[in-house]
Amino acid sequence: MHKKAVRSLVAMDMAVAPKNRAKLIREKERQMNSAVKILDFESASLLRDEILAIKDVIEKENYV
């Protein structure tokens, strides 16, 4: 369930911000830190995994 949610969120993020991924990552990191501050660890972990997936997409695109 968690991985499916992350894949879905990343797909939406890429559709909304296909060019400015650095800004997208910064925003997700800000959201993750806010979630941690209010002890919402489930949302924070989802955001963390989303950030990692976005970085993975970027790395794969730069590799090809």
pLDDT at position 31: 96
pLDDT at position 22: 86
pLDDT at position 64: 61
Tens of pLDDT, residue by residue, the chain (64 residues)? 678 888 888 888 878 777 788 888 999 999 999 999 999 999 999 999 999 998 988 888 777 6
Count how many domains the chain has: 1
* Domain carrying residue 51: 2-63
Calpha distance 31→1 (Å, rounded): 21
Q: Where are the alpha helices (DSSP H) in the chain?
A: 2-16, 21-37, 41-63
